[in-house]
Structure 1
Amino acid sequence: MAEAAILPTTKDEDWRYADGAFLAASDPAAINHWRILEVPAGETRSEHSYHNSGDESAGSVDRLRVHVGKGGCFEAYKIIAGGKYQRIEIEVTLEEGAHFEFGGVTLGGGDKVQEFVTCTKHAHPDATSNQVVRAVQWGQSTGNFLGRIEVARDAQKTDAAQNFRAILLEKGASANTKPELEIFADDVLCAHGAAIGQLDELASYYMAARGIPPEIARKLLIQAFIGDAFEAIGDEATRERMLEQALEQLDTEAV
């Protein structure tokens, strides 16, 4: 009960890029609430979701704890597209031979703050995880990704990766990333990568030289960029639906 009464602040490392005003005005019980998901051994569970609390909303926080049984798989694909502040947090514990696949996209204009926070716990041998996050920001918005990977001493043969890339369409936009690897096993493959920049001007010039209007060229480049986050979705119809939902959120001014 005491834990539920404590509100996080931006002084807490896991909340350092959050909206401090939103946190201060929040209900402690709501902020500290976790959804719980148990994936049985050998089975697969998936979540495909689009998060847009609306431009008039102060924000929302969704926190999920997942335990994946031996040889099981949990897949999560998420889009954050609205709300002044939106945070999706996922904590996953993997048993032997289990897998976690995550693809996330933030799309924000105005002064929105949007973030994914993950903690992947490789607690047993032969587990794998892969995380791909893409951010497209304009106006004064911010896209964040805090990804932590923990590999226990007995979790040999772990294979874990996370990759974050952000495109800033306007000068006032920003992105933050904080990858963390805590590894106690010695026979592992763990990697992370991050890049923040603008649209590829050379590609835009190449497309313009072939008669493609600038606004269409930009949208095609953004489509290819965010498509990376959904590449691992096995069902083509679901993959296309997620991509279409993301593209619908691009302001005409942004492209």
Structure 2
Amino acid sequence: MSGTLDLPTRKHEAWRYSAVDKLRAGDLGKWRQIDVASGDNARELLVISDENAGETEVVQLRVNIADDARFELFGVIASGEFSRVEVEVTMGRGAHFEMGGITVGGRNTVREFVTRVNHAEPEATSNQTVRSVHWGAGTGNFLGAIDVARHAQKTDAAQDFKGLLLEKGASVNAVPQLEIFADDVKCAHGATVGQLDETARFYMAARGLSPDLARRLLVQAFIGDALVGLDDEEAHEKLLGTALDKLDKHL
């Protein structure tokens, strides 16, 4: 039986907005396991750029964060006709998961983050911030699921998604999913989509900035939110630079 028969379709919730026609049998099932030991801190940086991406790029991570451990994931998806970062996280007691993600692109590309965070034990915290900037017929997606087990009291989980459309025809999609069985928890999610602030652009133009530079600075401020939790200056500049380089090619 061909592996193609096992490929997902848009009927699957986690693939609702994906470019499933770009998938091949060998793209899926290559999960990389990351285990963060009790009390440890770990960080992963993901960059999908013109330098390392093919037409289809799928990254799949399974992360176990033990008690009182911390794991940070920061990533930029800026290349590929279809690029997807899929993350499954299981939290121990008192663990923390921090994620910042950026998608940028135009033409007919689809670039997305898909996460499932399982708060399996009490007193764990998670925070996910995703920013998407798209133009042409480009699409940016964030599908984020949070599961809170019945005994996982004192959970504190948050998702924040914002999309910026630079041209008509582009789209962004956010699908938050919360499944909560505990009663003493804080779970919040927010999603907004908009265009560049014309008042700010006018203000900057009045002070001599070119339209392209004004747009670049506004986009930089917008996507910078996703990297607030990254305290490594070199890594911060690398990720931000990858996203802005893609924008510069469009300007």
- Which residue is equivalent to 2:189? 192
- SS of residue in 1 equivalent to 2:71: strand
Which amino acid is 2:7 matched to? L
Residue 93 and residue 4 in structure 1: after superposition, are their counterparts in 2 closer, same or farther (change >3 A)? Answer: farther
Pick which of 199-208 and 126-135 moved more: 199-208
Cα distance in 1 for residues equivalent to 2:60 and 2:238: 24
Are 2:145 and 1:159 equivalent residues in the alignment? no
The within-5 A match list for 1:221-236 is 221-236=218-233
The within-5 A match list for 1:86-125 is 86-125=83-122
The within-5 A match list for 1:104-253 is 104-253=101-250
Pick which of 233-242 and 51-60 moved more: 51-60
Which amino acid is 1:232 matched to? G
Quick check: 2:78–2:242 contact (8 Å CA) kept in 1? no
Quick check: 1:130–1:161 contact (8 Å CA) kept in 2? yes
- The share of aligned pairs that are identical, in percent, is 52
Cα distance in 2 for residues equivalent to 1:230 and 1:4: 37
Residue 33 and residue 166 in structure 1: after superposition, are their counterparts in 2 closer, same or farther (change >3 A)? Answer: same
Query: Unaligned regions of 5+ residues in structure 1, if any?
Result: none
Runs of 4+ in structure 1 deviating by more than 6 angstroms, as ranges, are 2-5
Residue 153 and residue 3 in structure 1: after superposition, are their counterparts in 2 closer, same or farther (change >3 A)? Answer: farther
- Which residue is equivalent to 2:34? 37
Which amino acid is 1:19 matched to? A
Cα distance in 2 for residues equivalent to 1:213 and 1:8: 45
Tell me how far 1:213 sits from its aligned partner.
Answer: 1.5
Cα distance in 1 for residues equivalent to 2:3 and 2:96: 30
Cα distance in 2 for residues equivalent to 1:56 and 1:117: 18
Which amino acid is 1:17 matched to? Y
Cα distance in 2 for residues equivalent to 1:131 and 1:3: 33
Are 2:48 and 1:60 equivalent residues in the alignment? no
Quick check: 1:55–1:84 contact (8 Å CA) kept in 2? no
Which amino acid is 1:105 matched to? I
- SS of residue in 2 equivalent to 1:244: helix
Pick which of 112-121 and 9-18 moved more: 9-18
Tell me how far 1:103 sits from its aligned partner.
Answer: 0.4
Query: TM-score, length-normalised on structure 2?
Result: 0.95
Pick which of 165-174 and 51-60 moved more: 51-60
Cα distance in 1 for residues equivalent to 2:161 and 2:118: 19
Tell me how far 1:240 sits from its aligned partner.
Answer: 2.1
Cα deviation, 1:61-114, whole Å, max 9, x if unaligned, reads: 111000000000110001000110000000100000000000000011110000
Tell me how far 1:20 sits from its aligned partner.
Answer: 2.4
- Residues matched between the structures, number: 250
Tell me how far 1:215 sits from its aligned partner.
Answer: 1.1
Which amino acid is 1:208 matched to? A
Which amino acid is 1:159 matched to? D
Pick which of 243-252 and 199-208 moved more: 243-252
Which amino acid is 1:237 matched to? E
- SS of residue in 1 equivalent to 2:223: helix
Which amino acid is 1:13 matched to? E
